[in-house]
Amino acid sequence: MATETLTLGKALNAGLRRALENDPKVVIMGEDVGKLGGVFRITDGLQKDFGDQRVIDTPLAESGIIGTAVGLAIRGYRPVCEIQFDGFVYPAYDQIVSQVAKMHYRSRGKLNIPMVIRIPFGGGIGAVEHHSESPEAYFAHTAGLKVVSCANPQDAYVMIQQAIASDDPIVFLEPKRRYWEKGTVDLDAPLSEAYPLHASRVARAGTDATLLAYGPMVRTCLDAATAAAEDGRNLEVIDLRTLSPLDLGVVYESVRRTGRAVVVHEAPSNLGMGAEVAARITEECFYSLESPVLRVAGFDTPYPAARVEEEYLPDLDRVLDAVDRTFGW
């Protein structure tokens, strides 16, 4: 087994490299992905090794990037589009929800759109306006799209390859604040059996309450569980990983054991992913719940200026406060 200690960003780079090596129909396209290697250097070195016909620097036109990728996908290619920052995706929103999501259905299954739209998302890096957003609910709500988010280097390496190999269009959300966090990566990890793409996983086993998160908030919840253990509370942490389709079997099993659930995400709480997860838990686990399902989320405002970002984003204290509330009912 070949293992390396990699940052999440380097793991994505390694996964993209492996996909380019394995399939000549894989192409990467986006603003500054070639010579620069992307603003976060996720595609660093790929154009040098695979050429500018497979790692393509595009104009600053997100709608054009996605529209071109649709045509490539119809012709049998597997385009991987990078949206440079989450807040830049909106010019491409029409293409994504009107074309990418609907082409397979519209053609009665005759056409597949095997493309991946990579989006660095979330806050935590002190960025300026339009550079910190959490748009996941827009895409998870759209029938015809699949939406996933990695939270650690191993998942980043495996999930990006699985997404590229899929025949479905996938919005691939990358937690930009976690790009520099390190972990052990099995470079020979199987891409199906051991690490299924659309499956939640238990990140930390526990017995007293269940914390549910994805992307950047998984680490926050793991830290909260470590802190709670000092007070004698054993919290289970589940990384949802897939937002559409949701995989809630492991969630239901956990909540039926613990009787308590807290859903955590950076996006605003109003009509966010946490609302859907909370509703589904209540429908399926009502008689097992010892208290209401609670949400810890960003506030219902635009992402604030960098100086007050820490006041907006869910942190360890807000998560632990919600845990305390679940035991106070």
Q: What tokens does 162 get?
A: 């699985």
Q: Name, in order, each residue with C-beta under 8 angstroms of 109's C-beta and a sequence gap of 6 or more.
A: none
DSSP per-residue string spanning 309-326? HHHHS--HHHHHHHHHHH
Beta bridge partners of 201: 239
Percent of residues in the chain assigned helix, strand, coil, to nearest 5:
40, 20, 40
Contact 171, 119 (CB under 8 A): yes
Rg from Cα positions in the chain: 19
Give the DSSP H or E segment for 81.
strand 78-82
The three-state (H, E, C) secondary structure of 260-296, written as one string: CEEEEEEEECCCCHHHHHHHHHHHHHHHHCCCCCEEE
141 is an active site residue = no
Largest CA distance in the chain: 60
User: What distance in Å separates the CA atoms of residue 67 and residue 65, rounded to the nearest whole number?
Assistant: 6
Angle between helices 273-285 and 249-258 in degrees, nearest 10: 60
Q: Of residues 104, 130, 131, 198, which has the active-site annotation? A: 131
Q: Name, in order, each residue with C-beta under 8 angstroms of 12's C-beta and a sequence gap of 6 or more.
A: 42, 150, 156, 157, 160, 174
Residue 230, φ and ψ in degrees, nearest 5: -65, -25
Token pair 């200690």 is at which residue?
A: 5
User: What distance in Å separates the CA atoms of residue 267 and residue 326, rounded to the nearest whole number?
Assistant: 21
Give catalytic residues, as residue numbers.
Answer: 131
